[in-house]
């Protein structure tokens, strides 16, 4: 019971890595409050995972919604021990597509803005709301979802790669700013993970992912959740400002 009685917030907790993390944290004794924009999926996940997991519908891009969520948790539990900034989206497209010297297509501004809003501004919103609580209690753990794409870049993911690289920068900055209050801040950079969304991709695409991964397979959501669990626990009490790749040794090609 490595997280016994720890009050934990997990954004984007309705499915995928967020759901797996909620399950592992609950198994280790945490009280887990997940949020998601998808109310149906979030309520279903909370019901499946049991009494230790509750759901709140929150849009991480909406600062008021985030603040109300955090205030409600503090009113009920008096503290927040762990924040996992997991919520994220993709809107993939090439920066520009040119045919016979002519521009034929480009990444829409709306796609860029949407990914920035969720993957970057959402992390900022949630951390800024939670940090004063953790400072007052002189303890806490903040865990941010980056990606190998944030380390290496990836074809067709200008927006996503930008957010995931920026999350690493924010993680390092917050580690410097918040360490004095005994708040640990770290990031995890997953590789290709078999979430529900990825499982529905064409087999040809999945094969390409496997070929780029030296271990020859895709990761499971629990393999990311286990790293979050370790980072949230006292076993990682001197790990601070780090970005841990969990990627099967991936080498991204073009």
Residue 160 bears catalytic tag: yes
Say if CB 212 and CB 250 are below 8 A apart.
yes
**Residue 165 contacts by C-beta under 8 Å, 6 or more apart in sequence?**
146, 150, 151
Using a 10 angstrom Cβ sphere, with 0-12 exposed, 13-18 middle and 19 or more buried, the burial of residue 241 is middle
Say if CB 88 and CB 12 are below 8 A apart.
yes
Query: How many Å apart are CA 16 and CA 36, to the nearest integer?
Result: 12
Catalytic residue among 152, 160, 181, 228: 160
> Mapping DSSP to helix (H, G, I), strand (E, B) and coil, where does residue 253 land?
coil
CA 44 to chain centre: 20
Query: How many Å apart are CA 7 and CA 141, to the nearest integer?
Result: 11
Catalytic (active-site) positions: 160
């Amino acid at each position: 019971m490595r997280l016994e009685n720890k009050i934990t917030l997990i954004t984007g907790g309705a499915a995928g890595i967020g759901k797996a993390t909620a399950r592992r944290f609950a198994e280790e004794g945490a009280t887990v409050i997940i949020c998601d924009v998808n109310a149906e999926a979030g309520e279903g996940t909370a019901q499946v995972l049991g009494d230790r997991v509750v759901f709140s519908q929150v849009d991480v891009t909406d600062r008021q919604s985030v603040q109300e969520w955090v205030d409600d948790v503090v009113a009920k539990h008096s503290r927040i021990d762990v924040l996992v900034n997991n919520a994220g989206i993709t809107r993939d497209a090439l920066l520009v597509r040119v045919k016979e010297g002519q521009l034929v297509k480009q990444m829409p501004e709306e796609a860029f803005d949407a990914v920035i809003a969720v993957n970057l501004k959402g992390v900022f919103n949630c951390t800024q709301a939670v940090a004063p609580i953790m400072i007052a209690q002189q303890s806490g753990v903040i865990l941010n979802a980056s990606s190998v794409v944030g380390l290496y870049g990836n074809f067709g993911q200008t927006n996503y790669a930008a957010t995931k690289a920026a999350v690493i920068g924010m993680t390092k900055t917050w580690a410097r700013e918040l360490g004095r209050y005994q708040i640990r801040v770290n990031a995890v950079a997953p590789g290709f993970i078999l979430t529900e969304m990825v499982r529905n991709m064409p087999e040809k695409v999945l094969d390409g992912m496997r070929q780029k991964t030296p271990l020859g397979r895709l990761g499971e959501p629990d393999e990311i959740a286990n790293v979050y669990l370790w980072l949230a626990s006292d076993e990682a009490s001197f790990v601070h400002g780090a970005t841990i790749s969990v990627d099967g040794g991936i080498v991204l090609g073009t």
